[in-house]
Structure 1
Amino acid sequence: MLRALASLVLLAAVAWWIDPRTLAAAFGAPAPAWLVLALGIGVLQTALSAWRWRLTASRLGAPLGFGHALREYYLASFLNQILPGGVMGDAARAWRHARLPGTASTAAWQAVVIERGAGQLALLLVVIASALASPALQAVPARLGEAADVRGLPWVGALAALAIVGTVLARRARGVLRSLARATRQALLARAVLLRQLLASLLIVASYIAVWLCCMRMIGLATPPAQAAPLVPWVLLAMAIPLSVAGWGVREAAAALVWQAAGLEAAEGVAASVSYGVVVLLSTLPGALALRPRASGAHSAADAAATTSRADAP
């Protein structure tokens, strides 16, 4: 409930900040063909994400059949869109995997944490690379601070409190963290798998950017892709903050700030962000089908597929 309220408050703040007429003008020339392309990229994106999860889980001794992994990833993505926080679907994905016969609960949860972590790491690498490659982008963090007015003692105090809480939790969860570190070395950082993990994660980030650019064309924005593409990862990174429902509000505020900091029209960033949110929701709708009750035979078939995939797991 609080996260839903946060989304509404942030969206209201963006609507108050951006001139409604300017925002409406950004939706001036819709091109539906770009929607079809964006949804097609979304299918490939989900399939590659499911493959990455399957690869990670197999390295931890908790294999999945690809069809089962794809279905579960669609379900998780859909739940992430409709439930607060953006991680509830992933928690459900780990829980459902842990319930499969012969699957260790710890391995199932670690596989999801590592798989999501690999994606965030790749996104961070893209953000850093974009800043290093473009002198104009190197000034964005400072401009963001000025635009958002994030200086001052309240923020310093909040960061200090988070650091203290993090230290306490780390001490109490030392055993869990050690186990996760071992699993990360095995499933993500091992020489046999690192290149595949990195390439898959970078391709997934590239698909996010491609969908965003399609959304811009879909609503008729004429900003050159070469100018907009380096800004998108900055907005996506802000969405990692579990403050809202499916990133709504956080994404729009970040897009407005980043677009303005880059010398572009903030309203265009917000318009692209809203379009992106709608397209992502549409692309996850196949996951709603997984919520339908299935016959016990179907459950058995899925479990058998997951079990027999031990032999052909990547």
Structure 2
Amino acid sequence: MHRLRRTATAPRRGAHWRGWPRNLVAAGVLGALVWRLGTGPFVAGLGQIDARSLATSLGVALVTTLSCAWRWTLVARGLGITLPLRTAVLAYYRSQLLNLTTPGGVLGDVDRAVRHGRTVQDRRRSVRSVVWERFAGQTVLVAGAGCALALLPSPVRHGVRELEAVVAGAAMVLALVLWRLHRSPLAGQALGRAAGWLRTVGPARAELRSVLLARHTGWRILLASVVAACGHVVTFLVAARTAGSGAPLSTVLPLALVVLLAMGLPNIAGWGPREGMAAWTFGAGGLGAQVGVTTAVVYGVMVLVGALPGALLLAAAGLERFREVGHG
């Protein structure tokens, strides 16, 4: 029996190494930036942060966190599970801090999903609520970036079109591979896996209609997502000004949205793709890759300061567990 328990709880072989390729990619981006630009932009970003920018980050982070937490409660309610707003706010602050201080940038989301799942005794729906909540936020960011690139004169528009061509080419290659696979002896196994994937599409579409597109909650989720996205954009614009960029708002806004989208890629505690994309967009816009990296560094420090209330929550939770162990 003891051997069975150890087998059930032991991690699968290689589980600890799955995140390393993604971390190596993010580290490679940072290494390439240091090799090309030196450490000057990073040091300058740390040196140009002032009390006004940090105070701004705390205030904007409060509004952003409240909006995200409200969105999470709406999504959870649509899935039929309870989530008080106060609980959601506390969990979201803790989640943001963990995302910003641990490799991968998703540990905080996993933490709040698991904790909430234990509370409502339904871990599956709790995980889905976090997934749908993040999906809603990313969808609004993508839509905002698309509108900004289409309506505002952006120097990165040509580069984005090239990226779209690359994605289209990759899709064609994938279609060719699937066609060849269909004609191969492995077609039966591949089609079986595809059928299993398609079986999950139906329930996902049903949840999409009943949660994100519902008549009574859909517009509230959209409003919360827009407010949260505006908070991230405002923080980035303040970071750009703090870093010394004097470019007009119409120029920096599309760049900010593109950089914010890159933050959804695998990273190391928020670092890596953000700095790489900022260097590329600012360089393409004639603002200087160094200014882009400095802006990204300032932004990273600002959002970390904005998430510091999560440290108090983690400390309080640790103290509570210590007291429980002591009384036990």
**TM band (smaller chain):** 0.7 to 0.9
Q: How does 1:1-314 map to 2 (within 5 A)?
A: 2=20, 3-18=22-37, 30-101=49-120, 103-137=121-155, 138-142=157-161, 156=170, 160=174, 171-242=195-266, 244-291=267-314, 292-293=317-318, 295=320
TM-score, with length taken from structure 2: 0.77
Give, in whole Å, the separation in 2 of the partners of 1:119 and 1:167: 33
Secondary structure of the equivalent of 1:136? coil
Give, in whole Å, the separation in 2 of the partners of 1:83 and 1:29: 25
Structure 1 residues not aligned, in runs of 5+ = 300-314
Preserved CA contact (<8 Å) 1:136 1:262: yes
Aligned-residue CA RMSD (Å):
3.2
TM-score, with length taken from structure 1: 0.80
Deviation at 1:104, TM superposition (A): 2.9
The letter for the 2-side match of 1:110 is: R
Deviation at 1:17, TM superposition (A): 1.8
Max radius of gyration: which structure?
A: 2
Deviation at 1:136, TM superposition (A): 3.3
Deviations 1:25-48 (A, max 9, x none): 677755431221122101111111
* Larger mean Cα displacement after TM superposition, 29-38 or 59-68: 29-38
- 1:17–1:198: structure 2 CA closer, same or farther, 3 Å change rule? same
Preserved CA contact (<8 Å) 1:170 1:177: no
Structure 2 residues not aligned, in runs of 5+ = 1-18, 182-189
Secondary structure of the equivalent of 1:99? helix
Give, in whole Å, the separation in 2 of the partners of 1:169 and 1:120: 28
The letter for the 2-side match of 1:117 is: F
Q: Percent identity?
A: 33
Preserved CA contact (<8 Å) 2:41 2:293: no
Give, in whole Å, the separation in 1 of the partners of 2:191 and 2:250: 41
- 1:39–1:135: structure 2 CA closer, same or farther, 3 Å change rule? same
- 1:169–1:217: structure 2 CA closer, same or farther, 3 Å change rule? farther
Give, in whole Å, the separation in 1 of the partners of 2:57 and 2:304: 12
* Larger mean Cα displacement after TM superposition, 169-178 or 277-286: 169-178
If asked which structure has higher relative contact order (CA below 8 Å, sep 6+), I would say 1
Give, in whole Å, the separation in 2 of the partners of 1:123 and 1:167: 34
Deviations 1:166-218 (A, max 9, x none): 99865434343332222221110112222111121111111101001111233
Deviations 1:222-246 (A, max 9, x none): 233332122111011112122x213
Secondary structure of the equivalent of 1:255? helix
Q: Work out the number of aligned pairs and report it.
A: 289
